[in-house]
Structure 1
């Protein structure tokens, strides 16, 4: 089935540093194994993986008019994403993160919000939803719930499937900030820490059900090595992860979102779509960044068989 996606919101350039034995003190240096850049963000990373999985993808958001932005746009283009909807903000730097990946898998991060903080609905062209089958909004907190809800409601009125992934940590105040967007969200794609933080629920299943109570159609929650949990109506189902040799888990949440949404576009019910999401995350975990390796839809589908 044809899938044309408008990926709106947070776009980031990640710099991964692999082979960190410790963070050097003072002005000391250290040789590392790999330094690699990749496109990331709850909109940008998901956009790239969706393109890898065969969807037609248009990115919308804000980047700086700087070399970091040039690199980010080039990486998205190379994977087949249409970047014509990314506006350049001359007075803001492109959002970026530096991620030192340590031997035990820990990956502390330095992050600059940059141009993502300057993105508004006014940056979107009038034809943003033309020909679109799916609107994915990454980082509704940057727009605010009312503006995010306005965009999602427009999409729903046009018969477009909507999904939302929040970047910020889970907090009840954050949930209140984006609450106006949730009744217009077909699929909410948080991680487990966000669900528990947003709701204060004692279990992930109860937290997912609580989010359904805000008007969301389906909640698909990532749980790291435990896979995913899908809540629809009265049903809550665990979907296991696929065992792989993990290099770095950066971008796995975005990869899950892309695989899940692509599965839905292929006619899969939410549980089967979540299995495709877990398989996509497993593929990304075996490298550095969302674009590591040469995976495509067939490669990911093979993991689920």
Structure 2
């Protein structure tokens, strides 16, 4: 999706009045787009699959992803819907409500995805599915199962807020999900558990191999059937925090990149927290200057044991 960040929105002007703000900035975003951008910055080869409109927003989104090194050949363009987009008014205290138009994301189906032996998915070693709720659990499960049958590892990040009905909608995807990457509010909403570790364990019991939960300024929680590991966030200095939009997507990217580098789940989560730290210092996942070396320097060396 395409995000429009509007910084220092103190109020919505009355009637047709206007107001000045500090910054208006466009950036590629979302549980697939934002994650893909950060993965590319961290040195991964990234191919993006999905749908965008034939509108100028789609042109801009394709250009931005391409500029970051993301292969966009798998993105189909649909003339009858607009490109998925959000407008995010960032308040002076950092709160960031949003307006969102689902657009082309709701029109993407598996028929739009070439799964042939010589198709664009050939040669990939990991499939990250952002927003499985748009496909629905059975269809998302079909795609993830297809990937795992071909030796790909898999991960899933849900875009919508968590509630029990949404979990029921996507639950068929969980047995084929190697790594589920929700935030803390989603976990509590999905499961009704006030204790985050208990909620994550419930999602593991529902089929997910590992649940790596973001906890905002507290960092992350990594839960499997055998362990619960807390990973702290990297604190920001005075004046460093710009906007937390996209930090969850950055964590996902850092975590997945860490696993690909052979790090343990806990060390991969540290890499995810380090990526989120850098993204929080700019507007959008594509803001600022960071790469794998920069993020690794903050995350620190990997532990001796690795269990991706």
Pick aligned residue for 1:159 from 126, 136, 151: 151
Look up the match of 1:95.
84
The RMSD of aligned alpha carbons is 0.8
Which of 162, 172, 182 in structure 2 is aligned with 1:180? 172
Residues 38-59 of structure 1: CA deviation (Å, up to 9, x unaligned):
0001111111110010000000
Larger mean CA deviation between 235-244 and 262-271 belongs to 235-244
Q: Distance in 2 between matches of 1:232 and 1:206?
A: 11
For the pair 1:45 / 2:34, whether they are aligned, the reply is yes
Give the corresponding residue for 1:6: none
CA distance in 1, matches of 2:281, 2:15: 33
| Shift of residue 234, structure 1, vs aligned partner | 2.6
Structure 1 consecutive aligned stretches of length 4 or more whose deviation exceeds 6 Å: none
Alignment partner, residue 305 of structure 2: none
CA–CA separation in structure 2 for the residues paired with 1:142 and 1:34: 31
Structure richer in strand, relative to its length? 1
Residue 24 of structure 1 deviates from its aligned partner by 1.6
Matches within 5 A, 1:19-30: 19-30=8-19
Kept in 2: contact 1:129–1:155 (CA 8 A): no
CA shift, 1:22, in A, is 2.1
> 1:181, 1:25 → 2: CA distance?
45
Secondary structure of the equivalent of 1:29? coil
Structure 1 Cα separation of the partners of residues 274 and 289 of structure 2:
14
2:71 to 75, 82, 86: 82
| Aligned residue number for residue 150 of structure 1 | 142
For 1:3, the equivalent position in structure 2 comes to none
Matched, 1:104 2:93: yes
2:213 & 2:159 partners in 1: Cα distance? 13
* Unmatched runs of 5 consecutive residues or more in structure 2: 301-308
- Gaps in structure 1 of 5+ consecutive residues: 1-11
Counterpart in the other structure of 2:6: 17
* Deviation sequence 1:187-232 (CA, Å, 0-9, x none): 0000000000000012000000000001111000001111100001
Corresponding residue for 1:267?
262
Q: Deviation of residue 21 (structure 1)? A: 2.4
Aligned equivalents of 1:168, 1:293: Cα separation in 2? 27
Pick one of 252, 255, 264 that aligns with 2:250.
255
**TM-score, normalised by the number of residues in structure 2:** 0.94
SS class of match (2:65): helix
CA-CA distance at 1:20 after TM superposition = 1.9
1:168 to 146, 152, 160: 160
Instruction: Please list the CA deviations of residues 24-43 of structure 1 after superposition, one character each: whole Å capped at 9, or x if unmatched.
Output: 22211111111100000111
Pair 1:215-2:210 in alignment: no
Deviation per CA, 1:230-269, whole angstroms, max 9, x where unpaired? 0012311111001112100000010000000000000001
Distance of 2:211 and 2:183 partners within structure 1: 10
Question: What SS does the aligned partner of 1:295 have?
Answer: coil
Deviation at 1:128, TM superposition (A): 4.2
Secondary structure at the counterpart of residue 43 of structure 1: helix
Relative contact order (C-alpha < 8 Å, sep 6+): which is higher? 1
Report the more deviating stretch, 225-234 or 190-199: 225-234
Quick one: distance in 1 between partners of 2:220 and 2:150? 30
